[in-house]
Structure 1
Amino acid sequence: MKKRLFSTLALVLCSFLICLAVVADLTGKWSGAIKTPNGDFPVKYTFKVEGDKLTGTADGADTSIPITDGKISGTNFTFNLDFNGTMLKNVGKFYGDSITIDVDYNGTNLHGMLKRVEEK
């Protein structure tokens, strides 16, 4: 009986800690490229997670765009960017050391992969 109770408690605790680790690890700076028909578009994102809310910025070569309507659920997240008056819906997946992002640009799906930027 004690063994079963201990196993159940350990499983619940591990699940809780894994969920917290996943959410906490998305916070930070990420760098990569979005593939477009005209070639790769380099991007840098800074994410901040507070509960299930995602905020931050997307930084291109000459601009910084605030993230709006950001939400996170486990390893999945969504947010919007207002790019020169065009709303870009972003859907992402967190894999620990990398992120994939799909961007809806006027009905065209653009895909990107980002890696965490190591702070020095």
Structure 2
Amino acid sequence: MNYDGATFEYEGKSGIGVIIRDSCGAAIASLSQLIPHAYQVADMEAIAATRTLEFAREIGITDAILEGDSCLVHHALTRGEQSLSPFGLLVEDVKVSSTSFCTLLSYKE
């Protein structure tokens, strides 16, 4: 499952994109969503990760590799520390959402 988030500051909007592939690499589902608020880029990446897990659960996926391109999100997900900042709370949402999956986190540069 690959996710990405984007912010369009001048338009005051953000968006996410998700693609879910099977073990052979064939696309089995995709999602894009426009969000009518311009979040910070790292926040959007964390929101996209959470939405990816929700979407996967909706279509019956239980075992997955979650892959994104944000080093900041990846490191926050793999560290044990918690933060009460808005970004930290978004990361906690991802962690909670991932508990119902056999999930491997991956970072793609």
Q: TM-score, normalised by structure 2?
A: 0.36
More strand by share: 1
* TM-score of the pair, normalised by structure 1: 0.34
Higher relative contact order (CA 8 A, sep 6+): 2
**Higher Rg of the two aligned structures:** 1
